Amino acid sequence: MNRLEELKARITSREAHIGVIGLGYVGLPLGLEFTRAGHGVTGFDVDPERVESLCAGTSYIEDVPSEAVARAVADGKLTATTDFGRLSVCDVINVCVPTPLTKGKDPDVSHMAAALDEIRKRLRAGQLVILGSTTYPGTSHDLFVPMLESTGLRCGVDFALAFAPERIDPANQRFRVREVPKVVGGETPLCTELAALVFQGVFDRVVPVSSTQTAEMVKLLENTFRAINIGLANEVALMCHRLGLDVWEVIEAAASKPYGFMKFLPGPGLGGHCIPVDPTYLAWKMKSLNFPARFIELATDINGRMPEHVVDRITDLLNEDRLPVNGARILVLGVAYKAGVSDMRESPALDVIRLLAAKGAEVSYHDPHVREIAIDGTSYKSVDLGDDTLSRSDLVVVITDHADVDYARVAAKAHRIFDTRNAMRDVKLGGEKIRKL
């Protein structure tokens, strides 16, 4: 029996030790699911504060309760470390590190390459490496296989490599981690088989595909689909504003059709770690093949201009009452990229605040999940959403529709409101003050 066959037996018996590199929104929930399936898990992170927190049984992620972490640690199923030397004891290694864009909007796979380099230094026969970080098609095969094979070990013979994209949706209470099917593509059929076997004990459904390139493309298609359809919804919002129509009413009525329509909603722009980034990865790859990704480019342009549209609408609302933006007291409700989270990555609120501040507005914000932010060297702290704060503001703009905000009270106390999320759709009193995207 060769080493990969031995690994298969260890996975089946739940004796395989699992490593997870990157203990953020993706890696920590995945690691906990492995502990629930009976595996021992070692988490790796470069942030010592994260490691210390987990070893003390405390979670730093809103979707992950501390009780779950404490239980896994107490049971001896979960440990965390900054010592990458311990990768050598892991049978399966999941890479869950960020893959952002550079300032020039090119893919930045440096975090993933650094993780793979740490693995390369300790790679041994009988290990399975699974990449979960979003990247462009061909990254696993063209970049990481040669890196790992530089050790003299052969992919698919001595070690296995697969790509299994993350599908984490922070704050989603409807679909838990294990309920979202797991796509898996390996460098060889055996690599796919081993990775699928690992995840079958964790996810309700595993979807094997023919290659790492296919799995990489699946992830990009999912979020490109969303970005393009959000771009359409945003353009419809611009059209409805020009036509004097309520875009929210239009979309809700269209969504009553039981087939052929999927509801996407407009907003102040795109945010988060996936939707604003993933389509750009695909467009970058296609540009290298002299293939223009026209839908992606158009949607990116429309979505990217939404913060400017929000500021233009705010300017118009203040002008109606002969108030200039310069010196206006503007309160932003919600700065996280989506409701129910504290994640600020790519949040459109940052652009809106930056644009308003450039026009001389006195901007403050309230967000129950984000205590402090910094924009262009200026620090802002979340203010208390008291009656005085609301009544002193010339305009309140809803950027992120957190559920733990009393929108009825906001409508009652604020002078003017611009709602970019339709958060106040059920408000009965004070509705005459509210303007929608």
Listed residue (182, 212, 209) closest to 198, CA to CA = 182
- The catalytic residue among 90, 155, 240, 274 is 274
Please count the helices (runs of H) and the strands (runs of E) in the chain: 14, 15
Q: Please calculate the CA angle 255-259-264 and round it to the nearest 5 degrees.
A: 40
What is the C-alpha separation between 160 and 94, in angstroms, rounded? 12
Measured between alpha carbons, how far is 58 from 41 in angstroms, rounded to an integer? 16
Instruction: Specify whether 55 is catalytic.
Output: no
Q: Is 90 helix (H, G, I), strand (E, B) or coil?
A: coil
Using an 8 Å Cβ cutoff, are 237 and 286 in contact? no
Q: Which two structure tokens, joined as six digits, stand for 436? A: 């929608």
Cα 62 from Cα 166, distance rounded (Å): 18
Quote the tokens at residue 84: 């990458």
Beta-sheet strands, E only, within 103-186: 128-131, 160-163, 182-186
User: What span, in angstroms and rounded, lies between the C-alpha atoms of 55 and 124?
Assistant: 27
Residues carrying an active site annotation = 274
